[in-house]
A = this chain, B = another copy of it.
Amino acid sequence: MPKVDDVDVMLLALLQQDATRSYASLGAAVGLSAGAAHDRVRKLRERGVIRGTRVDVEPAAVGRGVLAFVMVESTSWMGDSAEAFAAVPEIQEAHVIAGSASVLVKVRTATTEQLQDVLRRLYAIDGVSGTQATVVLETFFERPLLPSPEGDAEPA
């Protein structure tokens, strides 16, 4: 199984910024033909490096303007509780963490009342002994993993 090389990383960075670009312009940016660029991207998809292509939706526009992070404390091992958290649709992310709390979840709701209701449903999960919610006042930024390619890929 081949590794991700520099050209692959460049393609990934470009596609993280805008996945609607044509393979022709993609190839031109990294010094490849459209066919070769297409082939590389196809292989990145097959290998699971690219997990999918999705639109980025403004949360407030779909009634999810309130963002909060919740530390979920528990009395028992939570490693098998993924589905219990997934059953709460307002939870966008759930991570098992090292530290005093067991699980950290990222929650988006329309209102703080709905946030409170999510906390209630979190308490209802087996083993959950407490929650500590932190409401976000302002999001500085949310961005892709790879840095945007500022200089072009192909110097003379």
Chain A positions near chain B (C-beta within 8 angstroms): 4, 9, 12, 15-20, 47-59, 61-62, 64, 67, 69, 79, 81-82, 85-86, 89, 92-99, 101, 103-104, 108, 134-147
The one of B57, B93, B143 in contact with A142, judged by C-beta atoms closer than 8 angstroms, is: B93
In the bound complex, CA of A12 to CA of B134 (Å): 28
Pick 26 A–B contacts, CB within 8 A, sort by A. A12-B62, A16-B57, A17-B52, A19-B55, A48-B58, A49-B61, A50-B55, A51-B56, A51-B58, A53-B53, A53-B54, A57-B144, A67-B95, A69-B69, A69-B97, A81-B140, A86-B140, A92-B145, A93-B139, A95-B136, A95-B137, A95-B138, A96-B136, A97-B136, A104-B134, A104-B136
In the bound complex, CA of A136 to CA of B94 (Å): 10
In the bound complex, CA of A105 to CA of B97 (Å): 15
How many chain copies?
A: 2
Chain B residues lying within 8 Å of A142, measured Cβ to Cβ, are 92-93
The one of B20, B89, B138 in contact with A96, judged by C-beta atoms closer than 8 angstroms, is: B138
A61 pairs with B86, CB closer than 8 A: no
The one of B94, B103, B108 in contact with A145, judged by C-beta atoms closer than 8 angstroms, is: B108
